[in-house]
Amino acid sequence: MRETLGLLFNLQQIDDEIDALRADEEEIPRLKEEAQAEVREIEEELKTHRQEALDLAKLRKQKELEMEETAQKRAKFQAQQFQVKTNREYEALQHEIVSLETQVSAFEDQILEILDRSEKVAQAVAENEKALAAAVEKVRLEHAELDEKGARLAREIEVKAGARSGLASGLQEKLLDRYERIRDVKDGLAVATVKNGACSGCFRRIPPQEMQILRRSDRILTCEGCGRLIMWKEDAQ
């Protein structure tokens, strides 16, 4: 019976190790996604700045056309100054010319503001492109490391799974099925040990009579508190 209890204990330990390895393995896709998120963030920022650059170029062209049209009107009115015959007509033309000059000046200010903003956006685009290249390279390296880690974990799991099969083959089928059922409903922990006079699975205090049986290690006992298989291990005290 001691041998069977030892097999159960060792099986639980190797299952714990396999579970931990699989948990690490399952984390890899999430870690890859987190690394890629930085690239997507920079890509979105770069896309926004590039679109803004296009919009500013379009707006600048529009303002330049409007300014040109306004300047042409002003030139036309200026030429008409020498053709009018009354002071009223002359004053009316002067008023239009002043108004158009004000508009031309306003267009010039707007175009200067657009040029200033375009310069800043162009700088932002350059910085985004540089940051994106660095982020892509960083992700490439991180993904390579994660792929290597995943391959290593898979190899370790395979080795431990082989060892597990050897341990499981030493147990009676009925006992192994019982072990597996308990693992399924107890978050992977089917075998608990006595620690400080209590079950390490649910911390239920173990009565003295039951403790004597556990010390003899001649029977497989079930914890009345959590239903796990419980055993005595000197090094667990």
Domains in the chain (CATH in brackets) are 14-171 (1.10.287.1490), 175-236 (no CATH)
User: Rounded distance, CA 45 to CA 222, Å?
Assistant: 60
Q: How far apart are CA 232 and CA 191, in angstroms?
A: 11
Q: How far apart are CA 44 and CA 49, in angstroms?
A: 9
Backbone angles phi, psi at 20, to 5 degrees: -65, -40
Give me the residues of the chain with pLDDT under 50, please: none
Angstrom CA distances, 92 to 53, 82, 85, 96, 99, stand at 41, 13, 12, 6, 11
- What's residue 83's pLDDT? 85
Specify the pTM.
0.71
Give the model's pLDDT for residue 201.
Answer: 92
Report the C-alpha gap between 145 and 111 in whole angstroms: 50
Predicted local confidence at residue 133, as pLDDT: 97
Please give the Cα distance from 126 to 46 (Å, whole number): 9
The tokens describing 139, both together, are 């992700």
Q: Which two tokens stand for residue 199?
A: 């079950």
Residue 236 pLDDT: 53
- Spell out the residues 6+ positions from residue 63 whose beta carbon is closer than 8 angstroms to its own: 107, 110, 111, 114
Give the per-residue pLDDT at 235: 55
